[in-house]
């Protein structure tokens, strides 16, 4: 999956007036599964396209994305890929990612919760 496919899906969603969230890795420190610029598109129904690395860090961002879709308020999420995740996700890199999550919607549409 490359970013072109994520962008194409975002355009299709906007044309169909579906509210979605775009999560973009904006900064990393230490070892992380994906680097700055990595993108993931999240639908109001929870479907996703692309990845920012999987595991518990991605699950944290998916939860925030649902909030962003409901409220329309963008968020910057700090994802710590540390031993705290080990209980259910053994693929921990040990680094930190900052992920910007923003609402994508067609002009004139309200957030999903409005």
From the DSSP assignment, how many helices (H) and strands (E) are in the chain? 2, 5
pLDDT tens column, 21-56: 999 999 999 888 888 999 999 998 889 999 998 787
Digit-coded pLDDT (tens) for 7-26: 888 888 878 878 899 999 99
- Phi and psi at 34, nearest 5°, equal -135, 155
Residue reference for tokens 């775009």: 22
Give the 3-state secondary structure of residue 6. Answer: helix
Q: What sign does the dihedral 107-102-51-112 (CA atoms) show?
A: negative
Extract the runs of DSSP E, i.e. beta strands, from 1-114: 20-29, 39-43, 48-50, 75-80, 96-104
- Domains of the chain, residue spans: 3-104
């Amino acid at each position: 999956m490359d970013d072109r496919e994520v962008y194409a899906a975002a355009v299709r969603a906007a044309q169909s007036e579906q509210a979605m969230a775009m999560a973009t890795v904006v900064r990393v420190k230490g070892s992380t599964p994906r680097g700055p610029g990595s993108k993931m598109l999240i639908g109001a129904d929870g479907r996703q396209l692309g990845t920012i690395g999987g595991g518990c860090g991605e699950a944290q961002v998916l939860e925030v994305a649902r909030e962003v879709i409901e409220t329309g308020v963008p968020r910057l999420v700090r994802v710590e890929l540390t031993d705290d995740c080990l209980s259910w996700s053994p693929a921990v890199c040990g680094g930190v990612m900052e992920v910007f999550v923003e609402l994508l919607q067609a002009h004139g549409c309200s957030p999903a919760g409005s």
